[in-house]
């Protein structure tokens, strides 16, 4: 798959083998990348693909959470400041990008990235499969986190999940209902 422009200077691209999404926001002051794939080989490939959008090296990397398939390529961008697990506003010169920690869900350090008209939700939202739970997940807290996420998504915003196709507010609301059912299931949640 090639880069797809979701808004003015806001791009995403799906990568195999993990069907992981990478986001890019280009501003006058520099390039911000959201997630860097699973390892150094994939990060190097991403670095080459970024040149299709802008020849400047990225100034900022935002990791939506610390799972290997989202952070393994960070070492391929030594010049970039890495933002993870915290609130921040990044000034790209002609636009700002907000990084927000809304609560625990897929992991304890999930963040979302709010760009003009686009929300990068990381693995708080999954399209290519059901939400994934593991020992680092917080299934009882995940619905409240995604309710806060839903409050940030505009009616016409594109939502980029951690894995899979771009979705919208309606999809996030439907997945929130599934997360609520899983959180209230006395047998526990899986996936």
Ramachandran class of 122: left when φ > 0, alpha when ψ lies in -120 to 50, beta otherwise? left
Within-domain flag for 18: yes
- Structure tokens of 2? 């090639």
Total domains in the fold of the chain: 1
Within-domain flag for 55: yes
pLDDT tens-digit series, residues 27-65 = 999 999 999 999 999 999 999 999 999 999 999 999 999
- Residue 168: pLDDT band (50, 70, 90) is very high
Q: Which of 147, 148, 169 is nearest to 158 (CA)?
A: 169
User: Where residue 17 sits, what CATH number does that domain have?
Assistant: 3.60.15.10
Within-domain flag for 42: yes
pLDDT tens-digit series, residues 74-85 = 999 999 999 999
The pTM assigned to this predicted structure is 0.96
pLDDT at 153: 98
């Amino acid at each position: 798959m090639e880069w797809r422009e979701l808004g003015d200077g806001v791009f995403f691209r799906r990568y195999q083998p993990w069907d992981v999404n990478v986001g890019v926001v280009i501003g006058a002051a520099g390039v911000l990348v959201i997630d860097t794939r699973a390892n150094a080989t994939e990060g190097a490939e991403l670095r080459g693909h970024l040149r299709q959008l802008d020849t400047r090296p990225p100034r900022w990397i935002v990791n939506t959470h610390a799972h290997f398939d989202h952070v393994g390529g960070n070492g391929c961008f030594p010049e970039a400041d890495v933002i993870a697990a915290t609130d921040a506003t990044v000034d790209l010169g002609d636009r700002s990008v907000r990084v927000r920690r809304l609560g625990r869900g897929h992991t304890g350090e999930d963040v979302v990235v709010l760009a003009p008209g686009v929300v990068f939700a990381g693995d708080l939202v999954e399209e290519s499969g059901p939400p994934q739970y593991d020992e680092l997940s917080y299934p009882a807290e995940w619905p409240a986190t995604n309710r806060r996420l839903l409050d940030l998504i505009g009616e016409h915003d594109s939502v980029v999940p951690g894995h899979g196709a771009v979705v919208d507010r309606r999809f996030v609301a439907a997945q929130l209902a599934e997360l609520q059912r899983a959180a209230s299931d006395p047998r526990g949640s899986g996936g």
